[in-house]
Chain A
Amino acid sequence: MSAKQKIVVVGNGMVGHHFVDEMAKHEGYEITVLSAEDRLAYDRVHLSEYFSGKTADDLALTTPEHYNELGVKFFTDAKVTNINKAEKVVSTETGDKYPYDKLVLATGSYPFVPPIPGKEREHCLVYRTIDDLDAIQASANSGKVGVVVGGGLLGLEAANALKELGLQTHVVEFAPQLMGVQLDKDGGELLRNMIEGIGVQVHTQKATQEIIDGEDCVHRMVFADGTHLETDLILFSAGIRPYDNLARDFDLQIGERGGIVVNNECQTSDENIYAIGECALWNNFIYGLVAPGYTMAKVAADNIIGGEQQFTGADMSTKLKLMGMDVGSIGDAHARTAGAQSYTYFNEPDDVYKKIVVSADGKTLLGAVLVGDTSEYDSLLQYALNAIELPEKPDSLILPSAGEKPTLGVDALPESATICSCLNVTKGDIISAIDAGACDVAAVKSCTKATTGCGGCAALVKTVTDHELEKRGVEVSTDLCEHFAYSRVELFHIVKAEKIRNFDTLIEKHGCGIGCEICKPAVGSILSSVWNDYILKEDHLPLQDTNDTYLGNMQKDGTYSIVPRMPGGEVTPERLIVIGEVAKEYNLYTKVTGGQRIDLFGARIDQLPDIWEKLIAAGMETGHAYGKSLRTVKSCVGSTWCRYGVQDSMAMAIFLENRYKGLRSPHKIKFAVSGCTRECAEAQSKDIGVIATENGWNLYVSGNGGMKPRHGDLFATDLDDETLVKYIDRYLMFYVRTADRLTRTSVWLENLEGGLEYMQKVVIDDHLGVNAELENQMQAVVDTYQCEWKTTIEDPKQLKRFRQFVNSKAVDENIEFVTEREQIRPARGEEKRYKGVQIHTVDISEPEAETV
């Protein structure tokens, strides 16, 4: 067998890593990765999320284990400084040598810092790597004011980060407008107003001349027009420059303004050396986006194995959310094409600006600018990329819908239309996946990998898939899963009408197979809402998700968390002390949750019953933090203590929490009660929100925080206590009966035909004549409430389940903690002694064994 071809990859950024993943699919190559950073590839695109809580581990695109599995050799802190093209060897700073048959340069780029005197001062930083972010964080801690130099895409992202770090933030831009590459003048102007509206100051047409000592802050930036600005931190984001130094030093062709010149195969002027990603100059152009880099990685890998793929350029359209503002730019945004004509829509009161640029004959879309509202971005992009003929009145595409707005049906898209631009998946790819047997969105995603990048294409992928399936006569089904040809609502009615009390009977009569992780918990929840049995009864136990089976939330290492109920957030000092004592005794990480109660983390399964026994003995009960059921009723102190309170919000919150605790529902339910309109309990973001008025209570419904926040709708005003409770009984029970699985009240209401008005008719006017029944059903649930933990610790048979091993008292060695800020936290991969499952040889001396 011939020796493996040696592939050496310089740089392990996003593109270098993508290349490795592509290359490792093929046998017969020995891949070596040399990374100048001290870690392997991470997600630079989502770098800013580091400031909103993501860790370096979360951002990592790969791990040493993954590379080991792929058989890829890798070295970090290994900066390549020499290429010997004749001998085909590269060497690193430390003198280590690596021979190659093919060399791939994926060195990316670095931030450009303009040559301003003073730029070397302390607290003058850039925004590109995780290390940069650590430096920014440290610097921000000691300052009050921050300036970003550069008002492009990245600069504004950096400004947002500074703002979130609590700095008074300024953006200094040399050009007359923000985001000059993507936006036209009016779009840039509107963006500026919006950004200033949220407190970031924008200074355009400012050329910084020097940076000197400040009087009130660390620095003073002196501008060419004689003005100045004081700041503690300066972040340069004035563009990027390709890391092409290796090419410069070792005689590979580079562009006039930098960049390693490559051909359509991504080869440099030396045929054994490829360049991909942000260091590569193709057709005199450097792409500062990750998607084109991924395509280059694919092309280079394909060429190395003898394929013929070509890189032929990439689209630079962008849609993003900048500081909470929607901005989009497509194609020729500046109408530079000869004969181009444009249409604009400018709505100043609502901060919306839209422009489309169309060809001279008015038939095709050349470009677009969207600020403040990007809802038409997807369809405009498809018009532009696929040269789809525009409707007769192109402006109808961006005008606010005063009736029928022409929508672009997915049918109109050609097969070449890119649906997922991150992973370069076309409509044709989706069709091929379906032809090859994919019969739902999940299957299409797993075949094509669409949606696994930024995720922005998820809705479009679903529409295209469903549409194609429908065309093939596949009914896009509302079936719960392959075991039940019914929706959740239909199953609810069956369970109730036929008085079915367990899963086995239901699946025998109305389903097939043994069930799955979708239908089992869904039916478990229905049975609970209707009959309210103990959820761990023998029949019901196998239906529950692990959180319900062990009555705690499973954490990443397999331990559980413990959340005692604390109605309204009220707790006596005695109970608080017990919680503290228990946490101390079992060494649990202790935190106040976002739901006004206390969570204890890191309990092993075998410790759970003992811990709960102690909490219950002190008068506490389960908080159902694990269940699809009522979580918390947040409250403020209300009229009892607060000088503004107009009703006793505490008493109402406690009453409501005790009434609805334990109610199983399609998804979790959260409440809040505020004592006056100041709304300290944030009731309008809850499924059920109650706000005190002079005359009683205002009821809000179907609010949501979380992924897609929704303000609750005002349902009824000035209710007395009794009416309030009646309305909530009816509203919730109607939701429990009719919502799909895992649907919060917000999404349920939005999808409900007739929406809020319909629900008001049902609940207030008894339009369907079901109110008495709804109230009775709720009362039945309230009357059969039990603390599941109490029932569990009193039942020896249940207790038996709370052990890690049925044949040993040992504990799970994988559960390891380290100390951080004086408490435990799970050890991370690299901190652990336990490395997962090893392959052991068989111990033949084992006494009880017999040979087969």
Chain B
Amino acid sequence: MTIEKQWQTICHKDDLVKNSGVCALLANQEQIAIFQVKDEMYSVGNWDPIGKANVLYRGLIGDTKGDIYVASPLYKQRFVLNSGKCLDDDSVSIKAYDTRLQNDEVQVLV
């Protein structure tokens, strides 16, 4: 059986903070961090696997060599927003979700 992915509506676009992050709950109670970077949106898991806390949405956003990332506010490891890859530690990664705007509503593919 293949489980098909679905778009879940999360919040209104005005709930986002420009060039910064907010946090939301998915239907299954998982926490995600949603970032608005200029006009793009990105969603990733909110759990910091290194700091072991739900804080990634409070990190600073940056870019390096074309990758846009969030740096954990706890210990500064950087996670690429569109893949979840950790740039500073190969042994961890986080989930990344496709994100879109539908009638001013933010939707995430889960």
| Contact in complex: B52, A844 (CB < 8 Å) | no
User: Given the known A-B contacts A546-B73, A844-B6, are A558 and B37 also in contact in the complex, defined by CB atoms under 8 Å?
Assistant: no
In the bound complex, CA of A549 to CA of B71 (Å): 14
Our pick among B17, B25, B64 for the contact of A807 (Cβ within 8 Å) is B25
Q: Is B9 an interface residue (CB 8 A)?
A: yes
Task: Render B53-71 as a binary contact track against A, CB cut-off 8 A, 1 for contact.
Answer: 1110011111110001001
| B76 CB to nearest A CB, Å | 6
Nearest 10 pairs between A and B by C-beta?
A516-B62, A849-B6, A546-B73, A542-B19, A517-B71, A558-B53, A517-B60, A806-B15, A840-B28, A837-B47
What chain A residues lie within 8 Å of B95 (beta carbons)?
Answer: 837
A848 to B8, CA, bound (A): 6
Whether a CB of chain A sits under 8 angstroms from the CB of B101 is no
A768 adjacent to chain B (CB < 8 Å) = no
Nearest CB of B to A71, in Å: 13
- Once bound together, how far apart are the Cα atoms of A538 and B34, in whole Å? 17
A542 CA / B18 CA spacing, docked (Å): 8
Binary flags per residue of A486-501, CB closer than 8 Å to B gives 1, else 0: 0000000000000000
Which residues of chain A are near B110, meaning CB under 8 Å? 842
Cβ A514 vs Cβ B38 within 8 A = yes
Q: Which residues of chain A have a CB within 8 Å of any CB of chain B?
A: 69, 446, 482, 513-518, 520-521, 538, 541-543, 545-546, 549-550, 554, 556-558, 800-801, 804-808, 810, 812, 814, 829, 836-837, 840-844, 846, 848-852
Which B residues from 1 to 52 make CB contacts under 8 A with A? 3-11, 15-20, 22-25, 27-31, 34, 37-38, 45, 47, 49, 51-52
* Cβ contacts A to B, 15 pairs, < 8 Å: A515-B62, A517-B59, A542-B17, A542-B61, A543-B60, A558-B55, A806-B16, A806-B24, A808-B25, A837-B31, A837-B95, A840-B30, A846-B8, A848-B9, A851-B4
Q: How far is the CB of B70 from chain A (nearest CB, A)?
A: 9
Does B91 interact with chain A (Cβ within 8 Å)?
Answer: yes
A516 touches B4 (CB 8 A): no
Total A-B contacts with CB atoms under 8 angstroms apart = 135
Contact among A513, A806, A808, A852 with B109 in the assembled complex (CB-CB below 8 Å): A852
* Interface contact A546-B20, CB-CB below 8 Å: no
State how many angstroms separate the Cβ of B61 from the closest Cβ of chain A: 7
Interface residues on B, range: 35 or more
**Which residues of the partner chain B approach A482 to less than 8 Å between Cβ atoms?**
64
Considering the chains assembled together, what is the distance between the CA atoms of A558 and B15 in angstroms? 21
Q: Are the C-beta atoms of B68 and A851 separated by less than 8 Å? A: no
* Residues on the B chain within 8 Å of A517, using CB: 59-60, 62, 71, 76, 78
Q: How far is the CB of A75 from chain B (nearest CB, A)?
A: 24
* Cβ distance A603 to chain B, nearest Cβ, rounded Å: 14
A693, B12: Cα distance in complex, Å? 63
A807 and B11 contact, CB distance less than 8 A: yes
A846: chain B residues within 8 A (beta carbon): 6, 8, 27
Q: How far is the CA of A517 from the CA of B69 in the complex (A)?
A: 10
Asked if A556 and B64 make an inter-chain contact with CB atoms under 8 angstroms apart, the answer reads: no
Would you call A550 and B9 a contact (CB within 8 A)?
A: no
**What 19 new A-B contacts, CB under 8 Å, besides A546-B59, A841-B3?**
A514-B61, A516-B60, A516-B64, A517-B60, A542-B60, A556-B74, A558-B53, A558-B54, A558-B58, A805-B24, A805-B31, A836-B49, A837-B31, A842-B3, A844-B3, A844-B4, A846-B8, A848-B9, A852-B4
For A69, the closest partner residue in chain B by CB is B91
- Contact between chains at A513 and B30 (CB < 8 Å): no
Cβ of B104 < 8 Å from any Cβ of A? no
**What is the distance, in angstroms, from B51's C-beta to the closest C-beta of chain A?**
7
Question: In the complex, are the beta carbons of A516 and B71 less than 8 A apart?
Answer: yes
CB of A520 within 8 A of CB of B30, answer no
Is A545 within 8 A of B11, CB to CB? no
List residues of chain A with CB within 8 A of the CB of B58.
546, 549-550, 554, 558
CB–CB B24/A849 < 8 A = no
The reply to whether B28 and A843 contact each other, CB–CB distance below 8 Å, is yes
Q: A837-B47, A844-B3 are in contact. Are A514 and B15 (CB under 8 A)?
A: no
Complexed CA–CA distance, A591 and B99 (Å): 43
Bound Cα distance A852, B100 (Å): 13
* A541 engages B9 (CB within 8 Å): no
- Tell me the smallest distance from the CB of A725 to a CB of chain B, in Å: 36
CA distance A521 to B19 in the complex (A): 14
Q: How far is the CA of A551 from the CA of B56 in the complex (A)?
A: 17
For the complex, give the distance between the alpha carbons of A842 and B38 in Å. 30
Q: Nearest Cβ in chain A — how far from B78, in angstroms? A: 8
